Chains A and B, each alone.
Chain A
């Protein structure tokens, strides 16, 4: 949790912090919760591994396709009404099918399934979606500081860290040891 808070904190500058004082149910509490988790995981990853990324990456580089380019441009909040975590089962020309876990109801099993339009994805997400991709789907209200209110649906592919040679190598070694145990060697 500290990591997540720190990750979010790194993102804000002073002006954005001023905004958060007035908007408690900010988008970041839920919409970017997954991103913060991803960041936390990636940060641990970077601390331990140096075989894929040589320099410590900045969060703005890591999430440049996810976070607004200029934090000070955030002039709205999002009240989340409903949230799912999903994984892609299949992809056709115009749609993808996914299994969904209802995060709002704290479900731990994918009880639901839906067909999404690929057009509803951000361009960067559309180019990298594949079977097995994990995403968050959020429905809520976006309120601007000027008072306008829109009902929104956002689908955000999770930006999980990559497998690394070091990690794969460790798993290979652990697997060999595990196989010996299971086979009584």
Chain B
């Protein structure tokens, strides 16, 4: 992990992703940071971004200006309440769909179902929103299409910077609440909260200064509907113009988050792409096909971890191991060591030159492309 903070005029984006979970921090210059989502460090069980700030000597309390809850799925919110508590000066941004009574009723219905896990997605959202509604320390902003939520002036050697939410659209807001309404539980035995797919309330972000443009794709999906997903963003006349040189690929590189026009209309040719994988319930995203598609468009693409198998195996007695083999064959570990990709530019003098630092488990995405490099 990096040991020093970026210089005042440097931009940085660091993406964390252990295989199930994603979080990002972006330095906007002059020690002004934004945090997008949260996942836990697999060793310390603390929010990865807070561990990172601690490592590079940044005070989260003073430096974090904006916390974005891009959506509410388990893999994007774990540890979020700790981040919100640690950053009382930050503006908190999420889709207003998440603060509607329909979604909050869903949260209350499904809270604390499991006895052993303390951090399911709905429980974490509940804790986070309780902090927001009870302590009333934070300012909140609701994400909608093309809304500038953070506008920072130039400061010292740092440029001014604007953060704009690109989604959700009006139709996505409506679809989200309709979907949540269908999840009102019937009078039957309680179970863990089901997820809503596709995720209509995902918040994509456009970050722009004089010299740098970054697109963070969240888990926003594309369904071929002109009023939702990436279609409505690329067709929008009101969206921020220009082309991004850094792209956080949406939905872990899955084809469900792909839209050709995003690459052709919103990116420079061959941008640097970063993504975190999704290893869950036997699913592995990105697939080799996904990786090949992305590398064709962005040869310099990075993945936070390419190997879902942890190096250390959990030690159990031979009797237990034998029974595991007889019952389920084998148990898959799903929380490998934390992976990250960190991009830092050369400041005002070399804004297009990005220094790349990788965790041991991170790699070029081309490593997943069937041996081709």
Contact between chains at A130 and B191 (CB < 8 Å)? yes
- 13 intermolecular pairs with C-beta atoms under 8 Å apart: A81-B319, A87-B114, A97-B281, A108-B118, A110-B117, A113-B280, A113-B281, A113-B332, A162-B190, A164-B187, A175-B108, A176-B101, A178-B133
Contact between chains at B115 and A37 (CB < 8 Å)? yes
Closest B residue, CB atoms, query A171:
B108
Contact between chains at A109 and B117 (CB < 8 Å)? yes
Binding site for A on B (CB under 8 A): 40, 45, 78, 96, 99-102, 104-105, 107-109, 113-119, 129, 132-133, 140, 184-194, 280-282, 314, 316-317, 319-320, 322-324, 326-335
Residues of B within 8 A of A164 (CB): 187
Residues of A within 8 A of B330 (CB): 114
Closest B residue, CB atoms, query A132:
B191
Residues of B within 8 A of A5 (CB): none
Contact between chains at A109 and B335 (CB < 8 Å)? yes
Complex: A108 Cα to B317 Cα, angstroms: 21
Q: Report A1-54 residues with CB < 8 Å from chain B CB.
A: 34, 37, 52
Residues of B within 8 A of A128 (CB): 189
Known: A85-B114, A128-B189. A175 touches B105 (CB 8 A): yes
Residues of A within 8 A of B113 (CB): 134, 160
Complex: A163 Cα to B119 Cα, angstroms: 21
Contact between chains at B188 and A163 (CB < 8 Å)? yes
Contact between chains at B129 and A178 (CB < 8 Å)? yes
Residues of B within 8 A of A161 (CB): 189-190
Contact between chains at A171 and B116 (CB < 8 Å)? no
Measured between C-beta atoms, what is the minimum distance from A113 to chain B in Å? Answer: 5
Binding site for B on A (CB under 8 A): 34, 37, 52, 81-82, 85, 87, 89-90, 97, 99-103, 105, 107-117, 120, 128, 130-134, 139, 141, 151-153, 159-165, 167-168, 171-172, 174-176, 178-179, 181-183
Known: A113-B331, A134-B113. A179 touches B104 (CB 8 A): yes
Residues of A within 8 A of B282 (CB): 90, 97, 113, 115
**Looking at the complex, which one of B40, B99, B193, B331 makes contact with A179 (CB distance below 8 Å)?**
B99
Contact between chains at B280 and A139 (CB < 8 Å)? no
Known: A162-B188, A179-B101. A111 touches B320 (CB 8 A): no
Contact between chains at A85 and B280 (CB < 8 Å)? no
Closest B residue, CB atoms, query A183:
B99
Complex: A1 Cα to B261 Cα, angstroms: 60
Complex: A90 Cα to B280 Cα, angstroms: 11
Measured between C-beta atoms, what is the minimum distance from A185 to chain B in Å? Answer: 11
**Looking at the complex, which one of A141, A151, A174 makes contact with B108 (CB distance below 8 Å)?**
A174
9 interchain residue pairs of minimum CB distance: A132-B191, A175-B105, A175-B104, A171-B108, A89-B281, A85-B116, A132-B192, A160-B190, A114-B328
Known: A168-B184, A178-B104. A113 touches B334 (CB 8 A): yes
Residues of A within 8 A of B317 (CB): 81-82
Measured between C-beta atoms, what is the minimum distance from B186 to chain A in Å? Answer: 7
Residues of A within 8 A of B118 (CB): 108-109
Please indicate which of the listed interface residues A34, A100, A128, A163 has the most CB atoms of chain B within 10 Å of its own CB: A163
